Structure 1
Amino acid sequence: MTTENKDIMIRLESHHIWIETIGEQGEQLGIDEIDLRNVELSHYPLGQAYITACNFDGMNLNRKDFSLSLLSSSTFISTSLEGADFCKSNVSYADFTNAKVKGARFADCECIETVFVKADLSDANLVAGLFDETDFRNAILFNADVRLATFEGALLKGAILTGVRELKEAFIKSINIGSPEQPNILVGEEAKKWLNDNILSYE
């Protein structure tokens, strides 16, 4: 084990104690630009932490608790995150390309320019999330719950939207059915109609 990995393990344990004692002991985790791919994270909670620009690529983090954490600019490329909890976290500018995020909870989550290209978000809870210029191109959103979620400039080209739930309860400001380089922006009712048509077209 490298010295850096030993240091991370000590800090993870301290964060665990901090959570268990409601902040009376231990220390809240705060790390930046750390490669965590060779760190054993299975026994440690990652909620209520500051984990910015860190690398989780290709890891198995199914059902991991990331709730109430700042995870901006971190990468989860091809990471397995089925059933993971990102409730009330900030994953702005994070990259979930090809991630397995089936059944994950992004409720009340901030996702500004977050990348979900080719991610599997089947059955995901997106309730009250903020999806501002979020990239869902070629993502699977089968049966995802979007109640009270806000979409503004979200990229949706090639996304599978079959059975998306509670669309009527979502705030659809605008969507981009083109690309970042060649945008095709649909606003308001036009955006809602496109979404409705695509939800039904796969049935």
Structure 2
Amino acid sequence: MKDEQKGTHERVNQIWVDDAIALHRKYLDGRNGGTRLFLSFKNARKLKFSEQILDTAEMVGAELVEANFQKTSLARVNLFGANLANANMKGCSLVKSDLRGVCLENADLENASLAAADVRNGFILIRKPDGTYLPVKNDEATSFDGINLKDADLSDAKLGRVIGRRTNLTNVNFRNADLTDAVMSNSDVSGSIFIGANLTNADFSGCVFHGANLSGAMLNNTNLEGADLTAAHFSNNDLGYANTTNTSLPRSLETLDHTLRELLESHLLWINSLGQKGRQADLTKYDLQATDFAGINLQAAELSFSNLSNCTFLASRLNMANLTHAMALNSDFSDTDMRGIKLENANLTGASLRHARLSPMVILGTQGQKVAANLKNACLDQADLENADLSHADLSGARLRLANLTDTDLSHTRCLDVDFTGADLRTANLSGADLRGCKGLILP
């Protein structure tokens, strides 16, 4: 079928495309001689469209396999039934575009915006000279299989019966999106936002939801069989009508052998005796929402994959603690000792870390050996880090969108590929920081 379809498309070359883009620019600017870009039913495989403004273009049924649309604006573009398999669409804008029946198999849409886009299933019929209709594209559903949607924005998007098995959906914004009947089985949706999304009859079996926010999502008859919801944010009421057979859920404090107070007292004894007495606190995969840990010594505690949302750690000690993949939405870490902490892949959206210490921790009994704080791929969107000390910390791949970083010490930090979009960096200390690949970095 694909070979037959390819033969029905007029082949265009890069010169034709460049000339058409120039005319489209005139059209968008309202200048004389401008013409809207019309690629419908044309074969533009492997051609370059990167860093262009192609808003409102017509690309119905176009063959765009392996085409390069990196950082291109495709707002309100009609891509109905187009083939974008293996296309490079990193950072492109598809806001309010028509993507019904599109093939995006193995495409790369990292950091792309599909806000309010229509990605439902659809098929194309063309009329033959004899008056009959020939199906040019007749897929059962739009294909997202194997694609990379990391950090993409699909808020308010209509996805319908889209197929997205084995897909990278980490840190995707699905706020208020319609995913009714969607098939996303065995995908990684860690860190994604599903607030207000409609997941009715959707298949998320086998998916990983670490750090995902499902509060307020519609989960009527949603298939979560075999999914991992540890460190995800939701209420038990949200799951009432979902299929949770063999689903990994956070553990309740009621399952502890001792009370939380007794566990913390034993942990303090373990610290003060250098491990000779007491027992290290292990709260891995527990639901600890809204717990008051203010002033508590949790040095070297195990809190990975735990839900720490809305917790208070004011002036506590979390140095050398393990919070890998922890969910800590809106938690208060103000004035907390977090030296040498592990926060890799943790979600601290909206958290307060004012005056927190995340500088290196000197290891006792060594010749000045230090352990730096690890915040690789952590989400700190809208977090308040005013006056925090993150010197020498590893922030590689972290997100700090709209974060408050005024007077923050980021000296000698490793900030490879950090997203600073909208962050307030006034008076922040970035001396000696490695800022290669950063996004949205605007220095005063």
TM-score normalised over the length of structure 2 = 0.40
Q: Which protein has the bigger strand share?
A: 1
Is residue 171 of structure 1 aligned with residue 198 of structure 2?
Answer: yes
Structure 1 position 133, deviation (Å)? 0.3
1:3–1:50 distance in 2 versus 1, CA, 3 Å:
closer
Distance (Å, rounded) in 1 between the aligned partners of 2:11 and 2:85:
25
Per the alignment, residue 117 of structure 2 pairs with: 109
* Structure (1/2) with the larger helix percentage: 1
Q: Identity across aligned pairs (percent)?
A: 17
- Counterpart of 1:125 (choices 149, 153, 156) is 153
* Deviation at residue 109 of structure 1 after TM alignment: 0.2
Match of 1:52 in 2: 60
With over 3 angstroms needed to count, the CA separation of the structure-2 counterparts of 1:134 and 1:199, relative to structure 1, is: farther
Query: RMSD value over aligned CA atoms?
Result: 2.8
Matched residue type, 2:220 = E
Per-residue deviation at 1:43?
Answer: 6.4
> Hey, what's the Cα distance between the residues in 2 that align with 1:31 and 1:152?
31
2:20 is equivalent to residue 20 of structure 1: no
SS of 1:150's equivalent?
coil
Distance 1:3 1:128 in 2: 35
- What is the alpha-carbon distance in structure 2 between the residues aligned to residue 103 and residue 159 of structure 1? 17
Name the CA distance, whole Å, in 2 between partners of 1:44 and 1:18: 14
Cα separation, 1, equivalents of 2:46 and 2:168: 29
Conservation of the 8 A alpha-carbon contact between 2:154 and 2:175: yes
Q: What's the TM-score, normalizing by structure 1?
A: 0.82
Post-superposition shift, 1:25? Answer: 4.8
Number of residue pairs the alignment of both structures matches? 192
CA distance in 1, matches of 2:224, 2:185: 15
Contact 2:180 2:202 in 1 (8 A): yes
Which 5+ residue runs of structure 2 have no aligned equivalent?
1-9, 122-141, 206-217, 233-247, 249-304, 306-324, 326-444
Structure exhibiting the larger radius of gyration computed from Cα positions: 2
Higher relative contact order (CA 8 A, sep 6+): 1
> Deviation at 1:192?
8.0
Question: Which one-letter code corresponds to 1:86 in the other structure?
Answer: L
- Give the Å deviation of 1:142: 0.3
Residue 168 of structure 1: CA displacement?
Answer: 2.8
Amino acid paired to 1:71: L
* Residue in structure 1 matching 2:163, options 132, 135, 139: 135
1:159-181 per-position Cα deviation (integer Å, ceiling 9, x unaligned): 1111111x132122221358xxx
Which whole-Å CA distance do the structure 1 matches of 2:114 and 2:22 have between them? 25
- Determine the structure 2 residue equivalent to 1:30: 38
**Contact 1:133–1:154 (CA<8 Å) still a contact in 2?**
yes
Q: Is the 8 A contact 2:47 2:67 kept in 1?
A: no
Spell out, residue by residue over 1:88-109, the C-alpha distance to the aligned partner (whole angstroms, 9 max, x if none). Answer: 0001111111111111000000
The answer as to whether partners of 2:114 and 2:155 remain within 8 angstroms in 1 is yes
2:33 and 2:219 mapped to 1: Cα distance?
49
Correspondence 1:148 to 2:176: yes
Runs of 4+ in structure 1 deviating by more than 6 angstroms, as ranges, are: 192-196
- AA at the equivalent of 1:197: L
Of stretches 108-117 and 38-47 in structure 1, the one that deviates more from structure 2 is 38-47
Q: 1:104 to 1:130 in 2, by over 3 A?
A: same
